[in-house]
A and B are shown apart, each in its own frame.
Chain A
Amino acid sequence: MENLRDLYQEVILDHNRNPRNFRKMEKPDGFAHGNNPLCGDQIDIYLKIRDGIVEDVSFDGMGCAICTASASMMTLALKRKTEQEATALFESFHHCLTEDEPHPEDVPLGKLEVLAGVKEYPVRVKCATLAWHTFLAALKHRQDSISTE
Chain B
Amino acid sequence: MSGAAPYDVTARRLDFPILGRSVHGQPLVYLDNAASSQHPRQVIDAVGHFYEHSYSNIHRGVHLLSQEATLAYETGRLAARGLLNAACSHEVVFTSGATASINLVAQSYARPRLKAGDEILITHMEHHSNIVPWQMVCEQTGAVLKVVPINDSGELEMDAFEQLLNERTRLVSVVHVSNALGTVNPVERIVELAHEQGVPVLLDGAQAVPHLPVDVQALDCDFYVFSGHKIYGPTGIGVLYGKEALLNAMPPYQGGGDMILSVSFKGTTYNNLPYKFEAGTPNIAGAVGLGAAIEYVQSIGLDAIAAHEHELLRYATERLKEIKGLRIVGEAANKAGLISFVLDRVHPHDIGTILDSQGIAIRTGHHCAQPVMERYGVPATARASFALYNTRNEVDALVEGIRKVIGMFE
Contact = CB atoms under 8 A, between A and B. Distances in A.
Interface stretch (A34-42, A71-79, A99-107, A140-148): A34-42
B404 interface: yes
Contacts of B364: 39
Interface residues of A, number: 23
Contacts of B379: 39-42, 62-63
Nearest to A127: B349
A64 B350 contact: yes
A66 interface: yes
Interface residues on B, range: 20 to 34
Interface in B340-366: 345-350, 353-354, 357-358, 364-366
A13 interface: yes
A72 B183 CA distance: 38
Nearest to A3: B357
A44 B404 CA distance: 31
Given A40-B373, A65-B346, A65-B347, A7 B365 contact: no
Nearest to B346: A65
A8 interface: yes
B309 to A, nearest CB: 27
B408 interface: yes
B365 A40 contact: yes
Interface in A84-102: none
Given A1-B358, A39-B348, A39-B364, 9 more contacts: A8-B354, A8-B408, A39-B380, A41-B349, A42-B379, A64-B347, A65-B349, A65-B409, A67-B349
Interface of B: 345-350, 353-354, 357-358, 364-366, 370, 373, 379-380, 404, 408-409
27 contacts: A1-B357, A1-B358, A1-B404, A3-B357, A4-B354, A4-B357, A4-B408, A7-B353, A8-B354, A16-B409, A39-B349, A39-B366, A39-B380, A40-B380, A41-B349, A41-B379, A42-B379, A62-B347, A64-B349, A65-B350, A65-B409, A66-B349, A66-B350, A68-B347, A124-B349, A124-B353, A127-B349
Smallest CB-CB A-B distances: 10 pairs: A40-B379, A64-B347, A64-B349, A40-B380, A65-B350, A4-B357, A64-B350, A62-B379, A39-B365, A40-B366
